Structures are given as structure tokens and as C-alpha cells.
Structure 1
Amino acid sequence: MAISFENAFGVHPDALLVRDQRSSLLAENIANADTPGYKARDLDFQSALEGAKARQSGELGRTDPRHFEISTASRRAEAAYRVPNQTDTGDGNSVDIHEERNAFTRNAMEYQTTLNFLNSRINGLKKAITGGQQ
């Protein structure tokens, strides 16, 4: 009997990729906090996850099980400019360093949570395959 990784892992591998992409964007924002004219960017995680769910549910699915599957890993969510919470400081930079650090920390914790979930699922599959013997 074949194991369906899509059924076993759900949308979590896509969530991990989106969180990784968001981490890079937030790091760019932090690195450019003092760059004049730099505009902070971010991902709408919820819409990116909805897109991953739609692809997983088969909207872009195969018409025959023998067809190759379309890789969702190579698709990147669209980054958008963040609406600033602070007024313009005169240099055109829209990065709020405190907001960026908080978002980065939260994203890192969510990334680790998703990774822990996937790890526990993999360990469960290993136990099912080996019968609990290591």
C-alpha cells in the first residue's frame, strides 16, 4: 500500500515554504531599516496558504494518476508593500524596526512549530512502517 505524502502531511510543507519566504522578506526589511526610500514588504500568509490549499485540493490537479504532478514548491507567494503604522520620518523609509523584529520572531516560532509537527508525523510514519522497532 502506497503512502500519500499529501494526505500524511497536508498543507504543512507548503506552510513551511511560505514561512521561509516570509522570513527572508522580514530579514530584508530589518537589514534596510536605515536605507532611505526603502519600503517594507511582507507576505499575506493567509492568502498564500489558501493558494497552497487550493493547489493541493486539486484545482491544478492531475486528470490522470499517471500524469506528473505540478510542483507547488517552486511557486512563490507574492510579496506586497506593507502599510506603515508610523508617519513618514522624512527619508521615505517605511520600516518600523520593532514591528519587523516582532514579526520575525513570531514567524520563526511558527516555522519551528510547523517543523515540529512535520517531524512528529514523519516519526509516526516510521513507527508504522517499522512496527515501532528502531
Structure 2
Amino acid sequence: MKLFSATTQSLEAGLNYSADKQKAISQNIANVDTPNYKAKDVKFESYFKKSVADIQANVTSDKHMSFKPTSATGTSAAPYNSSDFIYHHNGNGVDVDKEMADLATNQIYYNSLIQQLNHKYSMITTVVKGAK
């Protein structure tokens, strides 16, 4: 019997994505004045493919369709250069306003994942301690 469901693993993958996204945004903001620095970003799709790769579906009838998620091999979760736009005269490709908006969006995403994870752990705690 598994103590933690696949939902917990998906939440963990989402938190890993959010942490890497935070690092990329922080690097972009820190290098806003660095000549020829190109803004970095992290793709959500690579984290999603990695979390879906472990899902197994039970087929109980020949009429059921098999569930085979796309393979996560070859996907990279590393930050990549998001664009070749140059926003400053020194060749820098960081738009501070965009980075700050991405930072706020990522913070909201992170907080929602934490709330979901806390709810899951609260349910486990209630089961272990017993409802009162």
C-alpha cells in the first residue's frame, strides 16, 4: 500500500518546476545590466512530461483503450535562453517588467501547490490521529 498517491508526486514535480523557474527569474533580474546577457526561462512541458511518464492505467477490459503517455526521455528541465530580443543598448535581453510579472505569477503558483500539499498532509494526519 502506498502512503503517498500520484497526486503528491505531481505536486512535487510542480514544486520543482516552480523552484527552477524562481532561479531562472532571479538570475535574469540579477543580470539586468550585464552586457549581452540573454534572459532564461524554464518550460513547464518538460516537468509535465516527467510527471506523467510514471502514470500507469489499469485496463480491465479489451474494450478499454490503453494509456501510454509520451516518453519523457530527452526532455530537459534546465533553463534555456527564452529569446534573442535585445532590450538594452548593451545587448542585454532582460525585460524587468516581464520578469517581475513572471515572479508574481510563479509565487501564486507556488503558494497554490503548497496549499494543496498541506491539505494532503492534513488528511493523512487526520487519518493517523483519528477524527475527533
Q: Following the alignment from structure 1 to structure 2, what is the Cα–Cα distance between the partners of residues 7 and 129?
A: 20
8 Å Cα contact 2:29-2:94 kept in structure 1: yes
> For structure 2, which runs of at least 5 residues remain unmatched after alignment?
57-75
Q: Given the alignment of the two structures, is residue 51 of structure 1 paired with residue 56 of structure 2, yes or no?
A: no
Q: Following the alignment from structure 2 to structure 1, what is the Cα–Cα distance between the partners of residues 32 and 7?
A: 41
Tell me the C-alpha RMSD between the 2 structures: 1.9
Task: For residue 41 of structure 2, give the secondary structure of its aligned residue in structure 1.
Answer: strand
Distance 1:27 1:45, change over 3 A: same
Q: What residue number does 1:77 align with?
A: 77
Q: TM-score, normalised by structure 2?
A: 0.76
Q: What residue number does 1:112 align with?
A: 111
Distance 1:47 1:115, change over 3 A: same
Task: For residue 77 of structure 2, give the secondary structure of its aligned residue in structure 1.
Answer: coil
Deviation, 1:48, is 1.9
Amino acid at match of 1:79: P
Percentage of identical aligned residues: 24
Q: Number of residue pairs matched?
A: 113
Deviation, 1:92, is 1.2
> For structure 1, which runs of at least 5 residues remain unmatched after alignment?
59-75
Amino acid at match of 1:99: K
Q: What residue number does 2:72 align with?
A: none
Q: TM-score, normalised by structure 1?
A: 0.75
Deviation, 1:8, is 5.1
Q: Following the alignment from structure 1 to structure 2, what is the Cα–Cα distance between the partners of residues 103 and 87?
A: 18
Q: Given the alignment of the two structures, is residue 21 of structure 1 paired with residue 20 of structure 2, yes or no?
A: yes
Q: Following the alignment from structure 1 to structure 2, what is the Cα–Cα distance between the partners of residues 92 and 51?
A: 35
Deviation, 1:45, is 1.2
